[in-house]
Chain A
Amino acid sequence: MRSALVVMLTLCALLQSLFVPTRAEGFDLRAHEVISFRAVLASRLDQVLREQMGFLRGRTEPVNGRPVLTWITEGSRLEDSPIFRVRHHFHNPTLPWDQAGLRVLGVQIGESSVIWGQDRGQVIGGNHSWHDARAAFFRALTASTNSERQQGFAETFQTLGHLIHLIQDAASPAHTRNDAHLSYSGIGDPDSFHTWAELNLGAILSSSSTQFDPSILALSTNSLAPIPIAHIIDTERYRQTRIPEAGTNIGIAEYSNANFFSDDTIFSPDFPFPRISSADLITERDSKTGELRRYFVKTRDGEVGYRLATISALFKFLPAPIPVVALDDFVLQDYGRLLFPRAIGYSAGLLDYFFRGRIEIAPPARFVYGLAQFVEGNAGAFTKLRFKVRNATPNEETPLPGQLIAVVQYRKPFGNLFENPFADLPAALSFAVSLPQTVTLTRDFTELTFDFPDPNAIPTNAADVFLTVVYRGPLGLEADAVLVGGKDLFEPDPVDWANVTDYDCFQGTLVNVGNSTLFPPFVPRLQTQRDLNQDGFGPDVLGPWTERGLFLKTFPLSQPPPDPSLTDFDLQLPARTAPQYARLVLLQDQPAYGLALFTTAAQEVSGLQFFNDRVAVRFDGVSNRLFVENGELIREVTLFDLYRGLSFTHLHLFLSSDAMPACLPQTVTAPPALMRIPGILPAE
C-alpha cells in the first residue's frame, strides 16, 4: 500500500514537472559540509599539520589554492556525486558486512559503506577509498616538486572528506535501516531527517562533539574491510548481542540503527529495536499550536530520554495499514541532539586516526643534523643529514620494516642569505627528498643517516627550513600506514672561526703587528720595535700567532663542553694564521648551542708558545623563517654583521693578547680582509 502511494505520488510529480519549473523543498548537501567543518575543528588536524608537516597556517593552509578544510568539506559533499555512488552509502549493522548494503525488493544493489570506504575499485566518481587517501598522502609528503605535493595533498584531503561522509551517513537512521529515500524532483520519499537537518543547520553548527572510544579501533579486524576505521561505523557487537547500546564503544551505525527510526522503518519487524516496549507513550502540547500530541519517549533498551516517534495527527483519518506513527519536527530535533554530536565526533575521530602515526625526531649524538663545507657564493649543500627517530604513536607498534624517507622543505631566496639575510623569499616551497631506506621503527631512538645526493641536496643558501620524516609500513592493525614526524630546524648556520692576531692593542692604540717590516719579531736589544714605550721591557704587543691542530665541536648547552679531538670534531684545521678564517655550515635545532674549541699548539712570531688551549662559547641559532603568530605572518631574520670584509652572524676571534679587546672595535674595517681557508669535515 505504501509502495503504491509512492508510485502514485511519483507519477503526479512527473506530470507536474512538465509544467512547474521548480520543485519541493530540500537542503541536503550543506548538512554534510557543516558537519565536516565542525569535525575538522574538533580534530587534531590543525596541530598535526603545523607541528609535523610544516603547514604554516595549519588547517587553513592553501593547498592548490584552497584551504585544507575546504578540500575536506567539499569532499564530503562530493561523495554523493554522481548519484550512483549513493547506493554504497548504506550499512545495516544487523547483517554480516557482505550483506549489509542497500537492498531493494530483497536484492542487494549497493556495497556496505564499511566495505565501500576501503574498496580499491571505486570507479564512478573517482577513487576515494582509504587506500587512495593513504597513497595520495605518501605521494604528497615525498614529492620533490611543489606542484606534485600540492596535488597530492589536495587529493588526500578531498578523499578524507569522502570518507567522513560515509560516517555521517551512518549517523542517519535511513542509511542504517535500509530505507532508500528516492525522490523525483523533490517529491516521493525524501528522508525527513535529512530534510530537517538541512533546514536546521544552526543546530549542527552549535552542536557538541562526541568522540568514539578509541578501543574500538583495536578490535580484531574483519577481512572484508580490514582497516580498523570500519569499526567507527560497525564494531559488529550489536549483530552478535542484539542488545542496543548508547556508549561510545560501538559503531555509529549500531547506535543509529538500534536507537532511532527512519520514516519507513518505524517499529518495523525488520529490525529488533527500537521496539514498542522500548518507549513509553506520553502526551504533551505541541509548543507551536498548543494541540495535544502523543509521543513515544524512549525509556529503555539503549539510549533513553528523547522523543522516538509521534502518533500521526491524521491517525483518526487514515485507514490501516497507513502508518499512524511518524517523525515530526520535535522528534527529529531530539534525534539531531543525539546524532549530530556523534556525526561530528566520529568524523573527527577518523581524521585523527588517519594522522595518528607520529615519529619523534631528536638530534643525533654529535648534536648537529648536517655539516657542509662553505662554497663561495653560498653555493654549497648538505648531502647527508643525521638524526634520531622513533615511533611515538600512542599504543601502536611498527613491528615490521617499512620505508623511511626524510624530506626537507625550504625556500630558495633571491640572493645570498649569508650576505643579505633580508633577500626576498618565494611564495613557493622547494623540497629535498632523501633516498629511501628500509627501517624497523621502535619506541627507542635509532640514529640514522639520510642521503641527499644531487640534485636533491639541501642548499646551504636556504630559508624557512623544516624537516619531515615519513615512514610507510605497518602500524598496529593497519598494514599500510603512513607516519610523519616534523622538526622546525634553524636555518643553515655559518660558523666562523678566525685568527685576527695581525693586530694588537697598546694603551688603546691599534697596532698592525702583521706588518713585519714595521714590527719584526721582538729580539731584546736587537729588534725593539715592539717595545712601544721604550722602557726596555718588551714586547708591548704580540702577534701574529700561528696555530696548529685546531678542532671545533658543537654541543647542546644542556651538557658540559666536550673535548674536541681528532676523533670528535665538526671541523678540523691543520693550521691557521692571521688573517685567516674557516667557515663551517651546519644545521641544528636549538635556539642556542655551544661551541668548544681546541688548539693543540700556538706560537707567536717572537717565540712565545702555548699548548692544548680549550675554550667554549655560546652561539645563537640562525633564523630566517616564516611563522604565524596571532593571525599575522611573521618573517624572522637573524641579523648579520660585517667584520674585515666578512659577512657573519657569529664569529669567534683568536686575538693577539689580553689587551686587544679594547681595540677590537677599531678593527671592524681594518685591512686586509679576512681570508678563508678550507677546513676538514669528519667522514660520515
Chain B
Amino acid sequence: MAPAHASAAAYHGKVVDAETKAPLDGAVVIVIWHRKPIITMDGPAYFHRAVEVLTNAEGRFWVDASPGIDWNPLTYVVRNPWIVIFKPGYGPFPVAHVSPRYVIGFRGQRYELNLAELNRELLKGAVVELPKLKTTTELQEFAFPVPVLISTLVPLEKVPNFMRLLNVHRRAAGLGPYPASEGGPRR
C-alpha cells in the first residue's frame, strides 16, 4: 500500500467492520494539520494541510506523517494531526470506534486511549474497528462535521471525499445534504 518513495513515518492500518471483521473499503481517512502562533495562550489556530485517502478493497490505508513545511516564521505546525476515519453508516474514528480504544492496565483494568495515543497506534499500524450504526438517532449523532471532529477551521473544500461521504451518511440519517458553501467572515 505504501508508495515506493515513502518516508519512514506514516499513519497506516486497516479499517474493518467491528462486528463481522470484514474490511471496509471506501472509508475516508483524513489527516489534518494545523498551526498555532509561536507564543500562545489558548489563542488562534490556522489550517495548514489536509490529506484524504480512501481505504482500498482490503480496507487498508497509508498516509505520510509529514505535515509539510510551514513557511510562516511566526507559527508552528502542531505535531499531532487530527485524524478521522469515516464511513457512511458507521461510528467514526476517533470518537465512536471500537478498537483500538482501550489498553488493559493494572489488574485488567482498562483505560481509554487519548487522541495522541491513538495517533501513535496508527503510526505503528492499527486495525481500526468501526461499529455499524443501527438507529436513525445514532446516524444523526454523526451527521455533522464537528462531532466527527472535523473542526470549523478546516475549509470543507479541502476535504471533498469526506463531504461526499458525509452527505451519503446524512441521506441514510434522513437529513438533507450538508450546506457547505463558505459564505460569511472567516478568520
Contact = CB atoms under 8 A, between A and B. Distances in A.
B174 A77 contact: no
B146 interface: yes
Nearest to B119: A25
Given A77-B151, A199-B115, A201-B149, A23 B175 contact: no
Given A186-B78, A288-B111, A37 B147 contact: yes
A609 interface: no
Contacts of B67: 22
Given A77-B152, A200-B115, A37 B41 contact: no
B184 interface: yes
Contact of A184 (B38, B69, B80, B179): B38
A205 B182 CA distance: 25
B121 to A, nearest CB: 14
Contacts of A25: 78-80, 116
Nearest to A57: B176
A81 B116 contact: no
Interface string B69-83: 110000011111010
A64 B114 contact: no
B181 interface: yes
Given A34-B147, A70-B152, A81 B41 contact: no
Interface in B111-166: 111-112, 114-116, 144-147, 149, 151-153
A137 to B, nearest CB: 16
A263 interface: no
Contacts of A23: 76-79
Nearest to A169: B42
Contacts of B173: 631
Nearest to A151: B184
A221 B87 CA distance: 51
A205 B42 CA distance: 20
A468 to B, nearest CB: 22
Contacts of A631: 173-176
A184 B105 contact: no
Contacts of A37: 144, 146-147
B44 interface: yes
Q: Which of B105, B114, B181 has the largest count of A CB atoms less than 10 A from its CB?
A: B114
Interface stretch (A82-90, A266-274, A573-581): A82-90
A288 B69 CA distance: 36
A151 B183 CA distance: 9
A71 interface: yes
Interface stretch (A175-183, A344-352, A593-601, A638-646): A175-183
B43 A33 contact: no
Contacts of B40: 83, 182-183
Contacts of B180: 65-66
B172 to A, nearest CB: 10
Interface in A32-82: 33-34, 37, 57, 60, 62-67, 69-71, 73-74, 77-78, 80-82
Contacts of B44: 78, 80-83
B113 to A, nearest CB: 9
B178 to A, nearest CB: 7
A305 B68 CA distance: 46
Interface in A128-163: 150-151, 154, 158
A289 interface: yes
Nearest to B78: A26
Contacts of A29: 45, 151, 153
Q: Which of A69, A125, A183, A196 has the largest count of B CB atoms less than 10 A from its CB?
A: A183
A64 B180 CA distance: 10
B103 to A, nearest CB: 7
A674 B69 CA distance: 78
Contacts of A151: 184
B4 interface: no
Contacts of B147: 34, 37, 205
Contacts of A180: 41
A89 B60 CA distance: 44
A73 B145 CA distance: 11
Interface of B: 36-45, 67, 69-70, 76-80, 82, 94-95, 103, 105-107, 109, 111-112, 114-116, 144-147, 149, 151-153, 173-176, 178-185, 187
Interface of A: 17, 21-30, 33-34, 37, 57, 60, 62-67, 69-71, 73-74, 77-78, 80-83, 86, 89, 125-126, 150-151, 154, 158, 169, 180-186, 194, 196, 198-202, 205, 285-290, 329, 628, 630-633
14 contacts: A22-B76, A30-B151, A33-B152, A34-B149, A65-B182, A73-B152, A80-B44, A181-B42, A184-B38, A200-B114, A205-B147, A285-B107, A290-B107, A631-B173
Given A63-B184, A200-B115, 11 more contacts: A17-B76, A23-B79, A25-B78, A27-B78, A30-B82, A65-B182, A65-B183, A66-B181, A196-B114, A200-B114, A201-B149
User: Can you list the 8 inter-chain pairs with the closest CB atoms, starting with the nearest?
Assistant: A631-B174, A290-B106, A81-B44, A65-B183, A65-B181, A64-B183, A74-B152, A62-B179
